[in-house]
Amino acid sequence: MEDPIPAAVIDEAVAPTIDWTPLYDKIIVQRLPEKEIIGGMVVPDRARQAQNIGVVLRVGDGRWIDGVLYPLTVQEGYTVLFSHFAGAEIEGHADVLVMREDEILAWRA
């Protein structure tokens, strides 16, 4: 059976051009490319949705709670699963999002 979450592959053409550093509990995620063929069937363009799986490119310093800085759970290079409406796109990079760590539903290293 095929692995439901593809292996993380960072697009080297995009990653170096992201020179932003996220603040606090924010992370920058690059969506993984969507599959055109699922289960042997070709999925038409109009039926496809944006992929909700991505790779963490950059992470902020952490979350401040009562004067204490707690580091983030996810780190650069982790594969993450997030909701369809999570994050905000970076202008000029439709497949790169800035989101809070708590918008992540699941992750794997």
Ordered by start, the domain boundaries in the chain are: 15-108
Distance of CA 91 to CAs 2, 34, 98, Å?
A: 34, 20, 11
Give domain 15-108's CATH number out of 3.20.20.70, 2.40.160.20, 1.10.730.10, 2.30.33.40.
2.30.33.40
Query: Is the confidence at residue 43, as pLDDT, over 70?
Result: no
pLDDT digits (tens, 9 = 90+) for 15-26: 556 778 888 889
Distance of CA 105 to CAs 87, 88, 102, Å?
A: 12, 16, 8
78 near 108, Cβ under 8 Å? yes
CA angle 60, 64, 68 (to 5 degrees): 120
Task: Return the closest-CA partner of residue 102 out of 50, 70, 6.
Answer: 70
pLDDT score recorded for residue 3: 46
